[in-house]
Structure 1
Amino acid sequence: MSTSQKLAGKIALVTGGNSGIGLATAQRFIAEGAYVFITGRRQAELDAAVQQLGDSAFGVQSDVSNLADLDRLFTVIKEQKGRLDVVFANAGIAEFAPVEAVTEAQYDRQFDINVKGLFFTVQKALPLLTDGSAIVLMASIVGSKGFESNSVYSATKAAIRSLARTLTSDLKARRIRVNAVSPGPIETPGLNSVLDSPEQVAAFKAQMVTTVPLGRIGDADEIAKAVVFLASDDSSFVTGVELFVDGGMAQV
């Protein structure tokens, strides 16, 4: 895929790396010369992803909202490689409901995984992260747009955008760069599972395309390439930013 090897010799972690954008990014990282640890909650999907990725990947079953799971993850990374150079805190979920229908369980699930899980992934990675390393946080255009039935999910992503700024300030003495990537609509298993029937999903996608200036839904690899940019020395003077990869959807 690549001859540039922008991540040659780097050790990377991709949470939620067993499908969708996480898996596509793990593939890109490996193509660019990195060794990648991936996590996922479901062992069977994780095993299949590792088999697909090959010898430069290792899977650790882990739920980012469970701090004991995170401790176990970083123990494995420390024992196997001793350090980290890149963290892509990608694991997240989305549940959609009108504000009057949101349950406490839905609220807790989304904040526990998307915000608490992401925050403690970064915190617990810090002892392993080298000075001058890169952290990429998975945000979304929903943190900037007011879509219907998106209240809790959007709030989690707005929190992540804020964390890119504050963590940049907290970690500047170690020259650790922290950036957020914000996808628009992307063709992933997650997108295809948001509604009850294939017909509903097709209608949902068709409606979304009408709001994207580039006139289409994005591909997971297009996000992966942006994450490689933020993870590599190509972005050596970039920190604290939110990089939109959305076909212009949140820009016009």
Structure 2
Amino acid sequence: MPIATARFDGKIALVTGGSSGMGLATARRLLDEGAQVVIAARGKPGLDAAVEELNAGDRVHAVSADVADSSDLDGLVDVIAAQHGRLDVVFANAGVGAFAPITDITEAELDRVISTNFKGVFLTIQKTLPLLADGGAIVVNSSWAVHRGVPAASLYSATKAAVLSLAQSLAAELAPRKIRVNSISPGYIETPSYRANVSDAAKAAAVQAVAAGRLGTSEDIAAAVAFLASDEASYLNGQDLLIDGGLIAAIPATML
């Protein structure tokens, strides 16, 4: 459904992890609101499919890049600089799930998850900052799991807590440039990855735990990111927005 606003006319946005799920929905939302969007992800076939689905002509550009790879990010920045000369919005969204008891986590797995979920976000912001216009906006994707202990999520939650803290620190550090930095903490969001990796029984249990009585959608996340990146959120800085249907703050009536 078309969005009846043009909050991002003339704006240039980067969405990492932009080929599916929350990233793809956010790219679509920003395009609908007038932005030109660069989507980055590791797999070229997925990026090609995303560009075709977005159907936005030369207003969307896809770049294959692994955020955990510094040279890939350098290449991404070079493409953005050559094509657009600047950025106004960065959605540091790329990340991986990792769920296992701490006793089962290998050093290789530790390195893999930290490299994408923390190092990748850190480097994405660090390397795009020279292109980010004063008064721009950065949104970082954290997780509801940082607000509540979750079994078998120690590694995942720790990396997501790290990027939430990073967002808060950068909100202070970048304030002289009027760059706002906020984070989002999605709850149970029915992305393609969630559908593929979570059993029907676990999905039903998740719904029962959410006061809203449903799983979230990628479009729910996109709407929140667009708000935080827009001028309507000009006095929001260093904040974490829980988009979880009440999972953390509210007890469903069915559980009483």
Normalised TM-score (structure 2): 0.95
| Counterpart selection for 2:123 from 120, 124, 130 | 120
**Which amino acid counterpart does residue 88 of structure 1 have in structure 2?**
F
Q: Distance in 1 between matches of 2:184 and 2:161?
A: 12
Which has the larger displacement, 87-96 or 100-109? Answer: 100-109
5+ residue gaps, structure 2:
251-256
5+ residue gaps, structure 1:
196-200
Q: Deviations over 1:38-80 (max 9, x none)?
A: 0111110001101111211100000000000000000000000
Q: Distance in 2 between matches of 1:71 and 1:149?
A: 34
Q: Distance in 2 between matches of 1:63 and 1:146?
A: 29
| Counterpart selection for 2:234 from 223, 236, 252 | 236
Which has the larger displacement, 207-216 or 25-34? Answer: 207-216
Q: Distance in 1 between matches of 2:153 and 2:206?
A: 14
**Which amino acid counterpart does residue 144 of structure 2 have in structure 1?**
I
How many Å apart are 1:35 and its aligned residue? Answer: 0.3
Partner of 1:52: 53
**Which amino acid counterpart does residue 124 of structure 1 have in structure 2?**
K
Q: Distance in 1 between matches of 2:192 and 2:5?
A: 29
Partner of 1:223: 221
How many Å apart are 1:108 and its aligned residue? Answer: 1.1
Alpha-carbon RMSD across the aligned residues, in angstroms, is 0.8
**Which amino acid counterpart does residue 10 of structure 1 have in structure 2?**
K
How many Å apart are 1:194 and its aligned residue? Answer: 2.7
**Which amino acid counterpart does residue 110 of structure 1 have in structure 2?**
V
State the identity %: 50
Is 1:177 aligned with 2:180? yes
Partner of 1:198: none
| Counterpart selection for 1:62 from 56, 60, 65 | 65
How many Å apart are 1:193 and its aligned residue? Answer: 3.0
How many Å apart are 1:180 and its aligned residue? Answer: 0.2
Is 1:165 aligned with 2:206? no
Normalised TM-score (structure 1): 0.96
Number of residues of Structure 1 aligned to a counterpart in Structure 2: 247
| Counterpart selection for 1:209 from 207, 215, 233 | 207
How many Å apart are 1:165 and its aligned residue? Answer: 0.8
How many Å apart are 1:3 and its aligned residue? Answer: 2.4
**Which amino acid counterpart does residue 185 of structure 1 have in structure 2?**
Y
Partner of 2:22: 21
Q: Distance in 2 between matches of 1:100 and 1:90?
A: 28
Partner of 1:95: 98
How many Å apart are 1:170 and its aligned residue? Answer: 0.9
How many Å apart are 1:95 and its aligned residue? Answer: 1.3
Q: Deviations over 1:206-251 (max 9, x none)?
A: 1111111111101110110000000100101100000011001012
How many Å apart are 1:19 and its aligned residue? Answer: 0.1
Q: Deviations over 1:171-207 (max 9, x none)?
A: 0110100000111001101212335xxxxx1111111
Q: Distance in 2 between matches of 1:157 and 1:205?
A: 22
